[in-house]
Structure 1
């Protein structure tokens, strides 16, 4: 009996000692400086932490299975569809015309008469002004009289010569005299015509530079009129050489005139065959219809040239695209959609092409019919369960 009581007392002492060690605080164990006790305490805490983590996982799983709506992100989706995509290159150009010229005098003299005013519509060949010919017209009449006499003499000598009457010398002299006087008349007529200033083409007199009574001369470099044809207008645009393949003859062009507040649609008429080494660009010519006459030379125009088209392009908002650390672009798709609008977020790497406004063309990674997460795309993660809302 005494032995049993003794053993019980020893066991109680050992148990109390263990409990005291277990109940000891971390500070007490560290202060005691026993390495084994410190290691045991660390292992005890580690085991407790693992047990707690396993219990938390079990609880989370139970909560998720009981209530699917708990902590499931709400998202909206858009369906990927094919559409006809046109990319336009934005540039600036100037309106020009091939028929915008200064008219200079071809002979010196006083400007006797001006027959047109600024802004007047004229036709090709119409008389615009007359220069004093200095008596050249009177001289021309005398030359014409001499030429008529020489012609009559030649014709008579020719008839006689054809009948074998008269000498060959007389016939040749009459012929030579007639041809010489005729050439003199033609030269005088040509010179007299220079006193008459006419319109080289149909157009509008943009400026009357010299007034009546002014002495004009071809050597001074001073013009008399400026004439412009507003019916054959075009826009000249310098296009960077990188767009040489996309910008070709016949491509659609949208033109906007900021000053007029007017827009037109036309097509590329001509592309240059020379790359400017200074700015690495080539010239493009775009015709501009001008029925109203409001479009003027040197007017600034904003030009959009269609340099790329895809009849079956997939376009998505740029806002749904993200980029990872490697520089890859990606979107989230809603896959495995259930009847109750629950789905799984799937990350999809995409390759994009040209942009137009807020949209970007997707070259690979997305097919028509895919559901792309729009609202909430920044908060979901790969494989996460999501709920789609309308």
Structure 2
């Protein structure tokens, strides 16, 4: 009875919707009958699945009839030994040991400033003058006294050599002359301090104190002088690189702000490791003929800390790792016929990286064919088709 009821119900539904299998898609859509449209969609999906299944069966049968196997398609790279240079990248700051503020050594009024900002000066050139407060007159008087003492000493010396006069007179004249010389030297030294001179050749970067100001030693900065010829970069390197970062190592220095890159070398390696960051300092000489490199300019350093003239390099993205943490790649055996070969898993050990490539220390040899594209989809001892 239940079966009869279900059959009758199905008949009623089909009669109300119509037989969708005999109607075209356009007719069903035009009918605006939601139930009929959904029924047609279900029929088409079933047909689509059936067609896909049938196609797979046909393709498989054709492969059997043609004796053709469906093999993974891969590409390979041939291993060659090349020179490998690894670079350590750190950031540094440009410095100069000839960048100082000049302070007066004598108290008084700054009577003259002989230079301007941006002016080039030579070592020993007079940059400014401080009022000597009468030292010049004192020196002139002292020189007069020195000349008199010298004449008296020379006369007493001639008399003493002729055994005329007493020894005490000769010694007194000699002492007076030496004392007069010391006074002159002392006054000359004091007077010299009233002249502010360039301690090295360079450029006047800043005139801090204006002419007419009263200055005092150690308190009143007068000028800033900078030499941009003898520049260097100071950088900190982690202590783990201490064995490889040594004096004379080549360094590629780039200045992002200037868009400039130069090749130089390490001129000094520090002997102290900072306990706070476990790093040591290095100095890299910077030629600056154009004068465009300024103190405190940020720079990026690439230090050649490792070189292998016969290294094996492979792309990092073809390396896989097993459950034991071992790294491996797939190679194709040398007996390749008609671009068909067999994939073989090879355990490797790796070294340093540079960009997208990594150095292989063990596991590969020159001449090996390493699978590149398709390496993730092959299995050990599986036949593959090579498409290079």
Q: Pick the TM interval, shorter chain.
A: 0.7 to 0.9
1:114 equivalenced with 2:113 (yes/no): yes
Task: Name the structure 1 match of 2:268.
Answer: 270
**Counterpart-to-counterpart distance in 1, 2:276 and 2:98:** 28
Task: Name the structure 1 match of 2:231.
Answer: 233
Q: Which deviates further from its counterpart, 187-196 or 228-237?
A: 228-237
**Counterpart-to-counterpart distance in 2, 1:73 and 1:339:** 15
**Counterpart-to-counterpart distance in 2, 1:223 and 1:108:** 12
Distance change >3 Å, CA 65–CA 76, structure 1 → 2: farther
CA apart distance, 1:100: 1.1
SS of residue in 2 equivalent to 1:211: coil
Shift >2 Å, 4+ stretches: 60-68, 336-339
Alignment of 1:7-156 (within 5 A): 67-68=67-68, 70-156=69-155
Alignment of 1:337-376 (within 5 A): 337-376=335-374
**Counterpart-to-counterpart distance in 1, 2:146 and 2:344:** 101
**Counterpart-to-counterpart distance in 2, 1:61 and 1:322:** 35
How high is the TM-score relative to the length of structure 2? Answer: 0.82
SS of residue in 2 equivalent to 1:306: strand
SS of residue in 1 equivalent to 2:180: helix
Alignment of 1:187-206 (within 5 A): 187-206=186-205
Q: Deviations over 1:305-344 (max 9, x none)?
A: 1111111100000111111122111111011433311100
CA apart distance, 1:71: 1.0
**Counterpart-to-counterpart distance in 2, 1:149 and 1:300:** 63
Task: Name the structure 2 match of 1:252.
Answer: 250
Task: Name the structure 1 match of 2:207.
Answer: 208
**Counterpart-to-counterpart distance in 1, 2:62 and 2:346:** 30
**Counterpart-to-counterpart distance in 2, 1:229 and 1:64:** 84
Task: Name the structure 2 match of 1:380.
Answer: 378
CA RMSD of aligned residues (A): 1.6
How high is the TM-score relative to the length of structure 1? Answer: 0.82
CA apart distance, 1:141: 0.6
**Counterpart-to-counterpart distance in 2, 1:61 and 1:183:** 118
Q: Please identify the structure whose Cα radius of gyration is greater.
A: 1
CA apart distance, 1:150: 0.7
**Counterpart-to-counterpart distance in 1, 2:64 and 2:100:** 84
**Counterpart-to-counterpart distance in 2, 1:244 and 1:268:** 13
CA apart distance, 1:217: 0.4
**Counterpart-to-counterpart distance in 1, 2:240 and 2:224:** 39
Task: Name the structure 2 match of 1:323.
Answer: 321
SS of residue in 1 equivalent to 2:271: coil
**Counterpart-to-counterpart distance in 2, 1:86 and 1:189:** 61
Aligned length, in residue pairs? 329
CA apart distance, 1:135: 1.3
**Counterpart-to-counterpart distance in 2, 1:313 and 1:253:** 21
**Counterpart-to-counterpart distance in 1, 2:61 and 2:305:** 55
Q: Deviations over 1:320-373 (max 9, x none)?
A: 111112211111101143331110011111111111000000011110110011
Q: Which deviates further from its counterpart, 222-231 or 208-217?
A: 222-231
Distance change >3 Å, CA 306–CA 65, structure 1 → 2: farther
Q: Which runs of 5+ in 2 are unaligned?
A: 1-59
